[in-house]
Chains A and B, each alone.
Chain A
Amino acid sequence: AAGVIQSPRHLIKEKRETATLKCYPIPRHDTVYWYQQGPGQDPQFLISFYEKMQSDKGSIPDRFSAQQFSDYHSELNMSSLELGDSALYFCASSPVGGAHYGYTFGSGTRLTVV
């Protein structure tokens, strides 16, 4: 079965650079969620989109932005990167009204800022 696809799998950036993470949800899933998991920490909710509109917002820094496109894939743009942005970034998806069944997560993008 198709899963949530995230790219790239690994990314190394320097401080003050920009990074773009991509997420391709499961077919017919129209809701996408982004989470950040710092080293040894639990995942923290960043933002979510439903039908290309932002549906909920968590602790996402102003330096980060995200959007969902017409094909339902989503991109997380991170600018002015800081060392503290080094983390595992998860994308998850669910069908409309199906979030209470639990999301399906991607394998994550490990971002390292040096």
Chain B
Amino acid sequence: AQTVTQSQPEMSVQEAETVTLSCTYDTSESDYYLFWYKQPPSRQMILVIRQEAYKQQNATENRFSVNFQKAAKSFSLKISDSQLGDAAMYFCAYRSARNTDKLIFGTGTRLQVFP
């Protein structure tokens, strides 16, 4: 069974600085998708960025980028130029490319942003 691990329950960053959130996963599959979701106090789950396992190039979305290391099964999220609005719970998630709809989430990292 696949598992997703986020080893940092909480992280903090100063406004305008850069922070990296860690995520590792365990799978025997070679084809899958990885996601980072943000859950602010409003509770809504917002997709931040996605990565396809067969693509070596790291995904980037504005200030958000990932460092995808397939061999190490690592999928970290880097937030550059942090803003107060980035404060939220961040969940890493895995989805098999096989015939399943299930997203497997990590336990989340709470990010605090200080002015």
Binding site for B on A (CB under 8 A): 31, 33, 35, 41-45, 48, 50, 55-56, 58, 88, 90, 92, 99-108, 110
Contact = CB atoms under 8 A, between A and B. Distances in A.
B35 A102 contact: yes
Contact of A88 (B43, B104, B108): B43
A55 B105 CA distance: 20
A66 B43 CA distance: 23
Contacts of A90: 45
A104 B52 contact: no
Interface stretch (B13-21, B62-70, B75-83, B95-103): B95-103
B11 interface: no
A99 B101 contact: yes
Contact of B101 (A41, A45, A102, A104): A45
